[in-house]
Amino acid sequence: MSTNRFDELLGLLLDDDVTEQQLNELTQIVSQDTKKLDLLRDHLLMSDRLSQFEDDLRSGDRFLDAWQTRLHAADDTSGFVAKVVASAQEEASARSTHTLAKNENVWQIPKAAGTIAFALSLLILAAVLYQRTTDPDADSTRIALSPDTVVTNVGREEPSDLGVAVLTRASALVGEQTSDWATGKTVPPGVLTWDSGLLQLEFYAGATVVAEGPAEMEILDESHVICRSGRLRVHVPKPARGFSVLAPSIELVDLGTEFGLDVLQNGDAEVHVFDGKVELYDAETNRDIETRRVLNAGDALTVNHDGTSTPIDLRDADFVSPSLLNQIADGRQKKQLSDWRTFRDAMQDDPRVVAYFPFDRNDVEDRILSGYGANGSTLEGAIVGCEWTEGRWPDKSSLQFKRPGDRVRITVPGEYQSLTYSIWLRVDGLDRKYNSLLLTDGFGRNRPHWQIRQDGSLALGMRHSSTVLHSYRTASIFNLFRLGQWVHLAMSYDAVRRDISHYVNGKLAMREPLEEAASGLLKIGDATIGNWSAPTHRHRETRVRNLNGCIDELIVFGEALGESEIRRICEAGRP
């Protein structure tokens, strides 16, 4: 079969003008020629990549219907199909720049390109048929495609949890490691070291540990901890009996009780039993019964680094309990909120700010999001569907986005050479392929689209010209274990330095040069927080991009901020 015939059939397919007979002919060609299969895949992936942006709508339903019988009847192995799907996804992620060209060797992308369900269905179909011709002994497998591009029997594994504890409270933590220790963080086995401050860990086995720095603690698993220095208070309910703490000179095994352990830098340790009983063994004896001692409620002793021990008075007040830590944390949160309000007031007078929404609830008009614009002006956002809820601190409000219709409509006037976005949010789930942070209406030239993709990556989508589209993306930021935590995100579009930078919790996550075609002033205008409004016709069926989570601060600067300034903004609002 000639290349011209393949090109002719491919053009008919992409133009949605292919007949059943021609579709069969094209399928036969690509099932026998891997080069043509790769070329077909490249065109379909290019077409789908453009469908992320604003083109005319085309439905792939009739293709799915026509191929369903073929897919169910085809022979294949799940591994081969998984490779094809993975390859398609990798290509789609990598190909973020598209320049349309006319020449005899490269097809011009038509105005009616297929949906991803359509693209993947043909790819899998061709892969299935090609596998049949090359491997007639392949196992029989049923592959089902729905219009939502759900591929079954491709061997998806359940997520794995490497954590053994959850960080549930923290106060005044200081140390090189502590910048990423957020409340709600899943903690895997490893060493925790900090200079000062308090934290509370709730272990999967059920034990609760309040630890005070300076400390060095190694978590072995959900029931075993090594404390090399620091002060711990351990509560072990009945389901967690057997929880043990190893110190330089002793090992403590809790039998369902509450105890305190204070380990000094020289290896000396104090043990205080507040309730129940504890078994105490000499260190590195593998719990030799001859070294076993039982301490009951009210007992306390000092164990020197050489193993000798001396009874001492019980000092309950020296060890912070979970309830006391809760009170300390509440007081610190009030101080943080007060400091943030000072920052908020200063932002209103910052000449670089072109839009600032602190998400303070207006009890009189609670469907209006009050904001501040350039030169002392005020802005208003129209709240649609969203509900007010608690923000980063108990007395700070935020808006919750949950349903497909939830959004806030805003207008940001002006045109800008550079822009910086800053947002505090809590992501509760990545339900959509694209989860909006701030999207301009439609997708015009130089009108930014800032959103989180379903794979957890942060993306800035730009239309630099009528033919050049680009998505400036980070690696995956949000995974299963980062959901439910307050996170600061920032994006800087620097036209002078000609690059895009993404930041996560004040740290640079990605910096990428601007595309050569990038030029002109940026405009926001009418836009939507947490969703997408007024999409073009192509996205009539897929335009729901509502965020699943909460937002409690959004700032837009009319210039590019540097890393130190973004870190300062993050620290001013860190809960």
Q: Where are the domains of the chain?
A: 3-134, 165-320, 328-573
Looking at the predicted structure, is the pLDDT value of residue 286 above 90? Answer: no
Q: Of 456, 454, 460, give the one whose Cα is nearest residue 472.
A: 460
pLDDT tens for 417-433 read 999 999 999 999 998 99
Q: Which two tokens stand for residue 37?
A: 């299969």
Looking at the predicted structure, is the pLDDT value of residue 89 above 90? Answer: no
Confidence at residue 24, expressed as pLDDT on a 0 to 100 scale: 76
Site of tokens 């973020």: 96
Helix axes 78-94, 34-51, angle to 10 degrees: 50
Looking at the predicted structure, is the pLDDT value of residue 249 above 60? Answer: yes
Most confident range, picked from 245-259, 376-390, 467-481: 376-390
Please tell me whether the peptide bond between 110 and the residue prior to it is cis, using omega within 30 degrees of 0. Answer: no
Rounded mean pLDDT, 9-29: 75
Among the ranges given (91-95, 289-293, 342-346), the one the predictor scored with the smallest mean pLDDT: 91-95
CATH topology of domain 328-573: Jelly Rolls (2.60.120)
* Average pLDDT of every residue of the chain: 81
Rounded CA separation 524/414 (Å)? 8
Looking at the predicted structure, is the pLDDT value of residue 407 above 80? Answer: yes
Confidence at residue 152, expressed as pLDDT on a 0 to 100 scale: 35
Q: Which two tokens stand for residue 309?
A: 């021990």
Q: Using an 8 Å Cβ cutoff, are 256 and 234 in contact?
A: no
Q: Of 425, 428, 470, 443, give the one whose Cα is nearest residue 528.
A: 443
pLDDT tens for 193-224 read 999 999 999 999 999 999 999 999 999 999 99
Rounded CA separation 493/460 (Å)? 9
Q: Of 273, 206, 259, give the one whose Cα is nearest residue 237.
A: 206
Residue 139 DSSP class: P
Looking at the predicted structure, is the pLDDT value of residue 147 above 90? Answer: no
Backbone angles phi, psi at 24, to 5 degrees: -60, -40
* 328-573 has the same fold as 165-320: yes
Q: Of 447, 548, 389, 398, give the one whose Cα is nearest residue 54.
A: 447
Annotate 188-230 with DSSP letters as a single string: -SEEEEESEEEEEEEETTS-EEEEEEEEEEEEEETTEEEEEEE
Looking at the predicted structure, is the pLDDT value of residue 325 above 90? Answer: yes
Confidence at residue 452, expressed as pLDDT on a 0 to 100 scale: 96
Looking at the predicted structure, is the pLDDT value of residue 531 above 90? Answer: yes
Confidence at residue 121, expressed as pLDDT on a 0 to 100 scale: 52
Q: Of 532, 371, 354, give the one whose Cα is nearest residue 440.
A: 532
Q: Which two tokens stand for residue 471?
A: 């998505």
Residues near 161 by Cβ (< 8 Å), separated by ≥ 6? Answer: 186, 480, 481
Q: Which helix (H) or strand (E) holds 259?
A: strand 258-263
Prediction pTM value: 0.68
Q: Using an 8 Å Cβ cutoff, are 309 and 303 in contact?
A: yes
C-alpha angle with apex 520: 109 to 56, nearest 5 degrees?
A: 25
Rounded CA separation 364/331 (Å)? 29
Residue 52 exposed, middle or buried by CB count within 10 Å (0-12, 13-18, 19+):
buried
Confidence at residue 127, expressed as pLDDT on a 0 to 100 scale: 52
Q: Which two tokens stand for residue 113?
A: 């390109």
Rounded mean pLDDT, 449-466: 94
pLDDT band at residue 308 under the 50/70/90 scheme: confident
Looking at the predicted structure, is the pLDDT value of residue 50 above 80? Answer: no
Most confident range, picked from 83-87, 91-95, 195-199: 195-199
Looking at the predicted structure, is the pLDDT value of residue 441 above 80? Answer: yes
Confidence at residue 123, expressed as pLDDT on a 0 to 100 scale: 54
Q: Of 524, 521, 532, give the one whose Cα is nearest residue 555.
A: 524
Q: Which two tokens stand for residue 220?
A: 């072995």
pLDDT tens for 128-142 read 444 444 433 333 333
What's the gap between Cα 364 and its chain centre?
Answer: 35
Looking at the predicted structure, is the pLDDT value of residue 536 above 50? Answer: yes
Whole-number CA gyration radius for the chain: 30
Rounded mean pLDDT, 470-480: 92
Q: Of 523, 412, 516, give the one whose Cα is nearest residue 464.
A: 516
Confidence at residue 544, expressed as pLDDT on a 0 to 100 scale: 84
> How many helices and strands, by DSSP H and E, does the chain display?
8, 30
Q: Using an 8 Å Cβ cutoff, are 437 and 450 in contact?
A: yes
Confidence at residue 540, expressed as pLDDT on a 0 to 100 scale: 53
Looking at the predicted structure, is the pLDDT value of residue 381 above 50? Answer: yes
Rounded CA separation 452/401 (Å)? 14
Confidence at residue 90, expressed as pLDDT on a 0 to 100 scale: 46
pLDDT tens for 97-119 read 443 333 333 333 333 334 344 44
What three-state secondary structure class fits 67? helix
Distances 434 to 90, 497, 508, 529, 540 between C-alpha atoms, Å: 17, 28, 22, 13, 14
Looking at the predicted structure, is the pLDDT value of residue 155 above 80? Answer: no
Kindly report the CATH class assigned to 165-320.
mainly beta
Confidence at residue 414, expressed as pLDDT on a 0 to 100 scale: 96
